[in-house]
Amino acid sequence: MFKGSFPALVTPLKDGSVDFDALKRLVEWHIDQGSNGLVPVGTTGESPTLSHAEHEQVVEAVVAKAAGRIPVIAGAGSNNTAESIHLARHAASVGADAVLVVTPYYNKPTQAGLIAHFTAINDAADIPIIIYNIPGRSVVDMTPDTMAELAKLPRIIGVKDATGDLARVPATRITCGTDFLQMSGEDATALGFNAHGGLGCISVTANVAPKLCSDMQAATLKGDYATALAITDKLMPLHQAIFVEPGLCGVKYAMSLLDLCSDEVRLPLLPVADETKAQIKSALEFAGLL
């Protein structure tokens, strides 16, 4: 069910508020472009600066618009276990297919604390759970051995791995088994991730290049790495340009050039600088998107 290209969906904003009309248009566009699923209200969806009400409304809107045509993995991460439980229960109640739960940031829990956190969510919410391991932002790294303990739980089904360490994929296959879902959280290494045993990417770049990202994923899953490499070559400057500044700012600017949504973001983030804009525009042209 969860394979291929899953855009880490941006939350369009207009004059400080969520632009639900643009959000619904994006869902339809992604389905038309071949995205294999959607991940609303992760960090690329500006979850840190959305209110709880906005968070829930975005999940509801995406699930309703997708209408079962592609799966929806709702962001439900927090460094507060009770808040993650609340968000996971809400996602389940409105029909999301799974939740994405990041390792608790700032608190720096031990590996035992990570097990307790995810076990509590597993026990409290009746919905599949995908762990989001991103030590560069959360400042805690879930080890493959810890993940193996969590993989024994009935609702922990996989991981979004943003470590950038491709050796993690086979290491996790050894500890968690080959049925444990592994999805990349880093666009630039998504091809190699699948070559090592991954099944997809929760992608920032797919917000603006959904068909290319989906085609690349489909090629890897068929074992056609020559085609996947040709698409990756085309997309690599865009992967890089989007992340010159925080990725959601970069991809929103790219999307604004294609009239998909505005480049508005919430403080403490800002729209990208002019120099970055020029790099993103050049990368879009290189990829044949502009």
What distances in angstroms separate CA 24 from CA 36, 57, 74, 252, one per listed residue? 16, 12, 15, 16
Are 49 and 226 contacting, i.e. CB atoms less than 8 angstroms apart?
no
Distance CA 148, CA 160 (A): 14
- Is residue 70 assigned to a domain? yes
Q: What is the DSSP letter of 160?
A: E
Q: Which helix (H) or strand (E) holds 13?
A: strand 13-14
Residue 193 lies in a domain: yes
User: At 69, is the secondary structure helix, strand, or coil?
Assistant: coil
For residue 245, the 8-state DSSP code is: S
Position 209 scores a pLDDT of 98
89, part of any domain? yes
Looking at the domain assignment, is residue 41 inside a domain?
A: yes
Whether residue 169 contacts residue 134, with contact meaning beta carbons closer than 8 Å, is answered with no
In a domain, 262, yes or no: no
Tens-digit pLDDT profile for residues 159-177: 999 999 999 999 999 999 9
Residues with Cβ within 8 Å of 206's Cβ and at least 6 positions away in sequence, in order, are 5, 6, 7, 8, 30, 35, 187, 213, 214
Give pLDDT < 50 ranges for the chain: none
d(CA 287, CA 290): 8
In a domain, 237, yes or no: no
Taking CA atoms, 159 is separated from 5, 109, 135, 168, in Å, by 15, 18, 13, 11
What range does the domain containing 38 cover? 4-222
Return the pLDDT at 237: 98
Q: Indicate the pairing of strand 4-7 with strand 200-203.
A: parallel
Residue 36 lies in a domain: yes
Catalytic sites, residue numbers? 132, 160
Query: What was the pLDDT predicted at 288?
Result: 98
Counted domains in the chain: 1
pLDDT at residue number 194: 98
Q: What's the confidence (pLDDT) of residue 1?
A: 84
- For residue 101, being part of any structural domain is answered with yes
Q: Looking at residue 183, what is its pLDDT? A: 98
CA distance 48 to 232: 30
CATH number of the domain where residue 45 is located: 3.20.20.70
pLDDT for position 192: 98
